[in-house]
Amino acid sequence: MAELTYPAELRYTKDHEWARKDGANVVIGISAFAQDSLGDVVYVELPEVGDTITAGDSFGVVESTKAVSELIAPLSGKVVERNDSLVDSPETVNSDPYGAGWMIKVEPSDAGAFDKLLDAAAYTQFTEEQG
C-alpha cells in the first residue's frame, strides 16, 4: 500500500473525515485513509445547500466497489456549498481526496468546533493503531 498522507493544515475525525478552514466556513471531505479503505468510489450522495448538518450524524453516503459508507459530520452547521462535480466524477474522491474531491462547505454553528478535531499527528497515530 502506498504511503497515505494527512496534510498538516487539516483537522480530522475518527470517522475519517477531514475539515479545512476557508474563511469563516469549513470545507469537509474524506481522508486518504478512508478512500483507500473504500476502494474505487462509484457514487457520492451529499446534502443540499441550505441543509443543516449535526456533528456526529450522517450527512451523506459514499459508495464504492467494496462498500457503502456513511459520511459523518465533523462539526455542526449549515451547508453553503456542495461539490456537484462528484455526481459525474465520484472517482475524484480517490484521486484527489484533499483537493478536487472535497464534498461540502459548511458555515459552522460553533466556531470553536474546528479546533477540537484531531490534528494530523493525532490522526496519523489513530490510523496506525487501526492497522
3 confidence band (pLDDT: 50, 70, 90) = confident
Is 60 contained in some domain?
yes
* CATH (domain of 99): 2.40.50.100
Query: 8 lies in a domain?
Result: no
The answer to whether residue 1 is domain-embedded is no
DSSP state of 114: G
What residue spans of the chain are helical by DSSP H? 32-38, 85-88, 92-95, 120-130
Question: Does any domain span residue 7?
Answer: no
Residue 9 inside a domain? The answer is no
Q: How many CB atoms lie within 10 A of CB 105?
A: 20
Give pLDDT tens digits for 22-33. Answer: 999 999 999 999
What total number of domains does the chain contain? 1
| CA dihedral for 20, 22, 28, 29, sign (positive or negative) | negative
Position 50 pLDDT exceeds 70: yes
The pLDDT tens digits of the residues spanning 100-112 come to: 999 999 999 998 9
Would residue 109 count as lying in a domain?
Answer: yes
- Residue 5 in any domain: the answer is no
